Amino acid sequence: MATARDAAPLTELAWDLLNYHAGLTPEGTVPLQTYGEFEAVWAPYLHDFLLEPDSEAMVAELNGRLVGYSLLALRDRPPIFVGPPDVIIAELLVAPEHRRAGIGAALMAAAYEWGRKRGAGYARLHVYEANADAMGFYEHEGFIPHERVLLKRIDGGDGNG
């Protein structure tokens, strides 16, 4: 689990994640120009996320260095659906140089265990369809397509994001 000393390396990894996703699909990502702008947005987001009941940040370290993280939340299903709550994997990132070494799988296993201990029946996440590596990883983890998230720009800006 993350501690206060993980804030700076977590922010650096999250910055990498934002830039990676902006390269895949800029629609829906915030066009931040500098790391400082990102840090000003990310720090309160992470703080507020972790203040939510049943939320957690998991970290993976290698030789004392943070190389991956996941943000987890337990969420009840809407009352029209029957069943236990879901563990939401809001974010998952492994530093590029440490991918395909079992770190992502270890973070996922920790997420499943965290959810099971809190009564979750399913793990749920969103992934960009353009992110072929992540899609393959999650399929290997046993995730199946369940719903589709659609995005439409309504503020008059260019593009669909």
The per-residue pLDDT of the chain, averaged, comes to 86
Structural domains for the chain: 4-140 (3.40.630.30)
Q: Give 47-69 pLDDT, tens digit per residue.
A: 888 888 899 999 999 998 999 99
**Higher pLDDT pick, 77 / 21:** 77
Which pLDDT does position 34 carry in this prediction? 84
**CA-only gyration radius of the chain, Å:** 16
| pTM of the predicted model as reported, rounded to 2 decimal places | 0.84
Q: CB–CB of 135/127 below 8 Å?
A: yes
Q: Which residues contact 124 (CB under 8 A, 6 or more apart)?
A: 86, 87, 88, 89, 146
Q: Which amino acid is at 69?
A: Y
Q: CB–CB of 115/72 below 8 Å?
A: yes
Chain centroid, CA 153 distance in Å: 23
Reported confidence tier of residue 13, pLDDT bands at 50, 70, 90:
confident
47-56, 67-76, 137-146, 148-157: segment of lowest average pLDDT: 148-157
Q: Which residues contact 11 (CB under 8 A, 6 or more apart)?
A: 38, 39, 42, 43, 46
